[in-house]
């Protein structure tokens, strides 16, 4: 009788163990699938912003303006960095960093367009903090008013490598 009880108990323990193991494996598969879907969506978004930046770079010339030339050069550096990171990224967080680099490049494009007297092109979403919330600066304008830009607005030069406070450019040597 004791053998039958022991076999019954161990059978129940085995069944419970198999159910727990199956649930664990199913949870891991679902989690991996969810992460893959998030990464795919983040890749699409990052590629969209990189493509937008590339299109803006292909269509603009500095026209002899040194500030516009510098802004386009900085935008090109951000595009190159974003393109390189896009080719190596595999997680949603890495794709988000690619998107942020492309958006900063678009901010530089906005400065160049304003200096050239053009309508401010696509600016992208507002900059966001690490936790995903938008960062706003009192009195912030990504692109100066066209008349200020044409009259020699020096905000871009004063900030040197920064279009938006807190988002440094690639260069720190100037």
Place of tokens 């794709």: 95
Q: 117's torsion region: left (phi>0), alpha (psi -120 to 50) or beta?
A: left
* pLDDT tens digits, 17-65: 999 999 999 999 999 898 889 989 999 999 999 999 999 999 888 778 8
CA 1, CA 124: separation in Å to the nearest integer?
A: 75
- pLDDT for res 121: 72
Residue ranges in the chain whose pLDDT is less than 50: 138-141, 143-151, 160-163, 165-166, 168-174
Full-model pTM: 0.58
Averaged pLDDT of the chain: 78
Compute φ and ψ for 172, nearest 5 degrees. Answer: -125, 5
């Amino acid at each position: 009788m004791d053998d039958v009880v022991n076999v019954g108990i161990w059978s129940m323990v085995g069944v419970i163990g198999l159910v727990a193991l199956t649930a664990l494996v199913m949870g891991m598969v679902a989690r991996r699938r969810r992460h893959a879907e998030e990464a795919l969506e983040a890749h699409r978004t990052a590629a969209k912003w990189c493509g937008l930046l590339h299109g803006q770079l292909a269509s603009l010339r500095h026209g002899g303006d040194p500030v516009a030339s510098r802004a386009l050069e900085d935008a090109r550096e951000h595009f190159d960095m974003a393109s390189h990171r896009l080719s190596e990224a595999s997680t949603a967080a890495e794709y988000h960093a690619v998107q942020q680099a492309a958006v900063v490049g678009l901010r530089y494009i906005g400065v160049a367009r304003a200096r050239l007297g053009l309508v401010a092109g696509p600016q992208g979403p507002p900059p966001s903090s690490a936790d995903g919330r938008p960062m706003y600066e009192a009195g912030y304008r990504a692109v100066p008013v066209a008349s200020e830009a044409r009259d020699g607005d020096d905000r871009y030069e004063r900030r040197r490598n920064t279009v938006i406070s807190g988002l440094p450019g690639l260069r720190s040597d100037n």
